[in-house]
Structure 1
Amino acid sequence: MAALPDGALAVSERDSGTIRMVSAGGAVSELGRIEGVVSGGESGLHGLAVLDDDERRWLYAYHGAADDNRVVRMPLTESTDGWRLGTAETVFAGIPRADTHNGGRIAFGPDGMLYVTTGDAQNVEAAQDPAQLGGKILRLTADGEPAAGNPFGTAVYSLGHRNVQGITWTSDGAMWASEFGQNTWDELNRIVAGGNYGWPEVEGRAGDGGFVDPVAVWPTAQASPSGIAAVGQTVFMTGLRGERLWAIDVSGAEAEGEPVVVLDGYGRLRDAVATGDGSLWVLTNNTDGRGDPREGDDLLLRVPLGPLE
């Protein structure tokens, strides 16, 4: 999901390449369809991000194409009869794709740069190689060039990732990422420039000075994390297999206390977006063709926030 300026949300559909719009009042319509989206396995249309520059508003999207994963952007205009989506242009291409581990989250950081998460695309050794794009978080300009100050002089910002599924920033400017583990530990990581997060040498905490340990870990049955959102110094993390929304207080150097379950009972949770009014949008993901779908369509939930207990 990506928030639009008038309180509406843009929501991507992985397999169809369609972007839906949900108005502030809850009405659902089709914003547009991205040409060139090739779905298969876990690949298809993934993350969205909105940017306002000096001349126009853009909607960015990460998607699988025939031979790679890529980032595109489309002009986004508002008229008397609603939002309109223009023709897509490629911003960054050549990210490896596979049936699984495609990454796919994008977001503009407080520095105005575009951050892009990539999976290892089933080539686990690529995650430790700074010369390859797989298993990384990338930092780009809005036009898709490597951002100035990147630690390796390339698009790569951090490495050693298996499959990052969410990125966000807390109010102090710290960057956070949720990441799928393999069999044992899922992770919430504080991302720093040039940080090596250990995959495939490490899953979970290593206690090795050569790698950055996660701030919090979960057994994979409790999390399988997806999108995350931050409000103040609290990170909210959605869980797919875990089917719950976790809240993690990150106000200290490490997580303060244990993560808290603040929402469950709605099945698989795919994404969360902070609304700015003291609540979260949370998207369910149950009718995706895996196993027996739950009755009815997936839901967009508005979740009011309060003090953690």
Structure 2
Amino acid sequence: MGTETETDTPQTTGNCAGCDSGGLACSTEMYKRQAEVAEESAKALDKYQETFDSARAAYPKARADAKVDVEKAREDLETVRQSLCKLSKDDRRCLYESYQKVQKAIDDCSQTAGPCADCECPDPPAPSTDETSSSLAGLIDKYRQIAASNQACFTSLTELLKSIPTDIKSLKDDVAKLVREVGEAVDKDVLVRLYVRYLVLRLRSDGNSLFGGFDSVNAYVNRLCKAMQYSNAAWLAVIELEGRKARLDCQERSRKAECERKRKDIVEDVLCEYEKCKPATPSDPSTHEPGCGCGQHEDQSSNAVP
């Protein structure tokens, strides 16, 4: 058998907790979680750049293709407006004011609706000593919602390209129907209803309404670009925050595990601490300190070591 050497027995140093790999393990946990979320974000944003490039080329073409039909619809609506002068000026004013009131109510209740409402993505807060797993969980949820909101916005803007031809056809059909009915109408009640339909169609024939509310190609492309950029930025924030939370969670588990280890190994830890403070030279076993409890001293009530 070989003799025991110093390398055969683990040496305990520092705080007597043994070789602490908690820092390394928790960093590994952080990087592992970040890699998982990075893969999740890659799947969520897959082909976004390709879709953006395609939409950027398709949107101006859709507007150009619709130009002739939109101009024709507007010309026909002007003819309708002139024909509806059969109604008195007071009736038309009252109808227009009523229309504006209802349309304003619709605009007001629609301001916060829709997938592209409030899509910005602020930078996440820097790491701090007072952040907790709970506070990070709240931030993670916030940025996941921002990512989802911008992804929904991006999708709606690309789907808009499919709806433009349908909207143009619907406008053409509705204007043609209105033209026919106005030419045949005589009754005032019918004319009143037709005038309201004219006001609604006039709004629909507005270029912004037909093309997603954008007054130019650049406005559409810029919003599409921001939705893509904010989606990416939100996911980057989630990746960072998920990593920070994973590390904090790991550190908390390590603290609990170390506490439990100390409870189980209390004797070994005490001996470890003793090694750090024991006298440099052994004491004479024949000597006694006053009050040591041996019964050989007059004063048994002094400050004896327990």
Place the TM-score, normalised by the shorter chain, in its bin.
under 0.3
Identify which of structures 1 and 2 has the higher relative contact order when contacts are C-alpha pairs closer than 8 Å and 6+ apart. Answer: 2
TM-score between both structures, scaled by the size of structure 2: 0.15
TM-score between both structures, scaled by the size of structure 1: 0.15
Which structure: larger Rg?
2
